Structure 1
Amino acid sequence: MWARRILAERDALCDDLAAMDGGLTGVLRVGAIPTALTAAQLLTTPFFDRHPKVRISLASVSSRQMVHRLAEFGLDVGPSYVDGEPLGNVRTVPLYREGRLLLTPRGTVNSPPVPGPPGRTSCFPVPPAPGSRGRPAGRT
């Protein structure tokens, strides 16, 4: 009885290994904060190109939900910001650096331009927001 069961399980494992012979299969579960949904393709496109048999599931989640679902193995990976957020037991890998610019219609800002980083256009200083204690708007 035990011998037949062991042989059946061995046969099932061999079948599983044969199915994997053509590459990875399964589902990659990606959770992304709403502002990082477009950046998720930085992860999924190269992965899918290397492993076309893997399906990709993309969900919009908050950063707290992402940390929780990663800890509970409900997600495999997730692009997010980590500014001041408690991360728990997750590993962070920088994907890219992001800069924020103030865009206005041409000729509407009367301040002289400030030279930007090499290879970039010049930019205008952002005045402090009311009540921000001297910090630029968006950094209160």
Structure 2
Amino acid sequence: MLRDIDPILSPELLYALRAMGHGDEIVISDANFPGEGLGPDCIRADGSTASEMLEAILSVMPLDSFVPDPALTMQVVGDPDAVPDAVADFQNIINATADNPAEIQTLERFAFYERAAKAFAVVQTGERRLYGNIILKKGVIG
């Protein structure tokens, strides 16, 4: 165990977060997301929700302050202006936890998949709420 490190941050995930550089992206996904076949390393976190994982990751990783969209979620198919419960929860967590709180931006479903395929890693959680996916861009510690 490590002091002041959320225990849901596995050794594999801590390694990935530390190995990422400024501007690299990580995906926190729900249980329905095609994480294993997308391309980046898929780190399983089936016992955690996406919200729990977001809060844990933001406790150790800075959000990028040099871009207008350091946090991206997937638009609801057929209703791009809808804000799913998971996304509203994500925004509250970012506002409370991130060192650089930012408004979540959205991407169309297939654009989200394309962006996620270029990420450093995917953290696949056991999140069961629909649209419980978010891409975070790593920042720097000043």
Looking at both structures, which has the greater relative contact order when contacts are Cα pairs under 8 Å and sequence separation is at least 6? 2
Q: Same fold by TM (over 0.5)?
A: no
**TM-score, structure 2 as length reference:** 0.32
Greater strand share, structure number: 2
- Which has the higher Rg, Structure 1 or Structure 2? 1
